[in-house]
Amino acid sequence: MSGALAQRGRLAARLPGGALIALLLALIAWEAIARLTAQSFFIAAPSAIVAHMTDHAGLLWRAFAVTLWAAVRGFVWGNLAGVLMALLVVLLPRAERLVATLALLVFCLPLVATGPILRVLFGPGEGPQVTLAALAVYYTTFLPVLVGLRAAPQGWFDLVRSYGRGRMVALREVRLPAALPYLVAGLQIAAPAAFLGAMVGEFTGAERGLGVLTVRALRALDLPATWSIAVIASAVSVLAFAAVGWAGRRLDLAPPQVLLASPVEARQSRWRGPGEALLALVVTLALWKGAMELFALPRFFAKRPEDVWAYMVSGPGAEAHRAKLLGAMAETLSFTAPGYVAGLAFGAGLAVVLTLAPRAASLTMPVAIALRSIPIVATAPLIVWALGRGAAGTIAVVAVMIFFPTLVACLHGLARTPRAVLDLFEVYAAERWRRMLGAQLPAMLPAFFASARMAIPAAILAVTTAEWLATGRGVGALMATVASTSDYGMLWSAIALIGLVAVIVHGLVGALERWVLSRTNAEQLAR
Amino acid sequence: MPDARRPDIRLTGVSKSFGAPGGEIPAVAPLDLQLAGGSMTALVGPSGCGKSTLLRLIAGLERPSSGEIRIGDETPDDLRKRAALSVAFQDAALLPWRTVAGNVALGRSLARRPRDAGAVSDLINLVGLKGFEARRPAELSGGMRQRAAIARAMASAPELLLLDEPFGALDELTRDRLNAELPALWEAHGATSVLVTHSVAEAVRLADRILVLSPRPARIAADIPVDLPRPRDGVVLASEAFREICGQVSAALRDGQEPSRLAAQ
pLDDT per position as a tens digit, B172-228: 888 888 888 877 777 777 788 999 998 888 889 888 899 998 887 888 888 988 888
How big is the A-B interface in CB pairs under 8 Å? 58
| Region B9-84+160-264: CATH code | 3.40.50.300
The answer to whether residue B83 neighbours chain A at the CB level (below 8 Å) is yes
Other CB atoms within 10 Å distance of the CB of residue A27: 12
> Quick check: B216 and B51 in contact, CB under 8 A?
no
Name the more confident of B223 and A220: B223
Confidence band for A373, pLDDT divided at 50, 70 and 90: low
The answer to whether residue B95 neighbours chain A at the CB level (below 8 Å) is yes
Percent of chain A with pLDDT over 70: 85
Chain B residues within an 8 Å CB radius of A174: 95
- Share the mean pLDDT of chain A: 80
User: Which residue of chain A has the CA closest to B136?
Assistant: A255
| Contact yes or no for A163 and B91 at CB 8 A | no
The span from the CA of A447 to the CA of A455, in Å, is 12
Which residue out of B74, B95, B139, B154 would a mutagenesis test of the A interface target, given it has the greatest number of A Cβ atoms within 10 Å? B95
Mean predicted confidence (pLDDT) in B76-89: 89
Which residue out of A2, A156, A158, A163 would a mutagenesis test of the B interface target, given it has the greatest number of B Cβ atoms within 10 Å? A163
| Integer-rounded Cα radius of gyration of chain B | 19
Chain A residues within an 8 Å CB radius of B77: 164
| Contact yes or no for B87 and A162 at CB 8 A | yes
User: Which residue of chain A has the CA closest to B89?
Assistant: A155
In sequence order, the β-bridge partners of residue B6 are B3
User: Which residue of chain A has the CA closest to B103?
Assistant: A173
The answer to whether residue B82 neighbours chain A at the CB level (below 8 Å) is yes
Mean predicted confidence (pLDDT) in A293-299: 85
Which of A245-254, A332-341, B24-33 is least confident? Answer: A245-254
**Closest by CA position to B159, among listed B90, B80, B65:** B80
The span from the CA of A375 to the CA of A369, in Å, is 13
Superfamily for the A40-269 domain: MetI-like (1.10.3720.10)
Confidence band for A76, pLDDT divided at 50, 70 and 90: very high
Confidence band for A258, pLDDT divided at 50, 70 and 90: very low
On the question of pLDDT at A366 being above 70, the answer is no
Question: CA quadruple A501, A504, A507, A512: dihedral positive or negative?
Answer: negative
Among B107, B138, B162, beta carbon nearest to A255:
B138
The span from the CA of A406 to the CA of A388, in Å, is 25
Interface predicted TM-score (ipTM): 0.86
In terms of C-beta density within 10 A (0-12 exposed, 13-18 middle, 19 or more buried), how is residue A173 classed? buried
| Contact yes or no for B93 and A156 at CB 8 A | yes
Chain B residues within an 8 Å CB radius of A178: 97
On the question of pLDDT at B260 being above 50, the answer is no
The pLDDT assigned to A273 comes to 52
The answer to whether residue B106 neighbours chain A at the CB level (below 8 Å) is yes
The answer to whether residue B140 neighbours chain A at the CB level (below 8 Å) is no
Q: How many residues does chain B have?
A: 265
> What are the pLDDT digits (tens) for A448-504?
888 888 888 888 888 888 888 778 888 988 988 888 888 888 889 998 999 889 888
> What is the least distance, in Å, from the CA of B124 to any CA of chain A?
19
| Region A303-527: CATH code | 1.10.3720.10
Q: Any idea of the CA torsion for A408, A348, A366, A398, to the nearest 10 degrees?
A: -90
User: Which residue of chain A has the CA closest to B60?
Assistant: A162
| Contact yes or no for B89 and A158 at CB 8 A | yes
Chain A residues within an 8 Å CB radius of B59: 162
Confidence band for A337, pLDDT divided at 50, 70 and 90: very high
The answer to whether residue B138 neighbours chain A at the CB level (below 8 Å) is yes
The pLDDT assigned to A507 comes to 83
User: Which residue of chain B has the CA closest to A156?
Assistant: B93
The answer to whether residue B113 neighbours chain A at the CB level (below 8 Å) is no
* Residue type present at position B130: K
| Contact yes or no for A155 and B90 at CB 8 A | yes
Chain B residues within an 8 Å CB radius of A184: none
In terms of C-beta density within 10 A (0-12 exposed, 13-18 middle, 19 or more buried), how is residue B29 classed? middle
On the question of pLDDT at A263 being above 50, the answer is no
Task: Tell me where in chain A the CATH 1.10.3720.10 domain(s) lie.
Answer: 40-269, 303-527
DSSP state letter for B137 = G
The answer to whether residue B238 neighbours chain A at the CB level (below 8 Å) is no
The answer to whether residue B169 neighbours chain A at the CB level (below 8 Å) is no
**Closest by CA position to A40, among listed A213, A292, A221, A300:** A221
Q: What share of chain A is helix, strand, coil (3-state, %, to 5)?
A: 85, 0, 15
The pLDDT assigned to A84 comes to 94
Mean predicted confidence (pLDDT) in A374-388: 68
The span from the CA of A502 to the CA of A143, in Å, is 17
The answer to whether residue B264 neighbours chain A at the CB level (below 8 Å) is no
Per-residue burial over B102-129, b if 16 or more Cβ lie within 10 Å, else e, is: bbbbbbbbbbebeeeeebbbebbebbbb
Chain B residues within an 8 Å CB radius of A161: 61, 80
Residues of A with CB under 8 A from a CB of B: 153, 155-156, 158-165, 169, 173-174, 177-178, 180, 253, 255-258
The answer to whether residue B63 neighbours chain A at the CB level (below 8 Å) is no
In terms of C-beta density within 10 A (0-12 exposed, 13-18 middle, 19 or more buried), how is residue A28 classed? exposed
> Quick check: B35 and B7 in contact, CB under 8 A?
no
User: Which residue of chain A has the CA closest to B164?
Assistant: A155
The span from the CA of A376 to the CA of A460, in Å, is 12
Name the more confident of B125 and A361: B125
The span from the CA of B94 to the CA of A156, in Å, is 8
> What is the least distance, in Å, from the CA of B109 to any CA of chain A?
10
Among A163, A173, A178, beta carbon nearest to B156:
A163
Confidence band for A252, pLDDT divided at 50, 70 and 90: low
User: Which residue of chain A has the CA closest to B80?
Assistant: A164
User: Which residue of chain B has the CA closest to A169?
Assistant: B110
| Contact yes or no for B138 and A160 at CB 8 A | no
Domain parsing of chain B, residue ranges:
9-84+160-264, 93-157
The pLDDT assigned to A44 comes to 78
Residues 6+ apart with CB under 8 A from A491: A113, A116, A117, A303, A479, A482, A483
The pLDDT assigned to A71 comes to 94
| Integer-rounded Cα radius of gyration of chain A | 24
| Contact yes or no for A162 and B82 at CB 8 A | no
The answer to whether residue B184 neighbours chain A at the CB level (below 8 Å) is no
**Closest by CA position to B172, among listed B150, B147, B192, B199:** B199
**Helical H runs in A153-222?**
154-162, 167-170, 176-203, 210-219
Other CB atoms within 10 Å distance of the CB of residue B139: 12
Mean predicted confidence (pLDDT) in A409-422: 76
> What is the least distance, in Å, from the CA of B83 to any CA of chain A?
5
* Residue type present at position B236: V
| Contact yes or no for A258 and B83 at CB 8 A | no
| Contact yes or no for A255 and B106 at CB 8 A | no
DSSP state letter for B74 = B
| Contact yes or no for B61 and A159 at CB 8 A | no
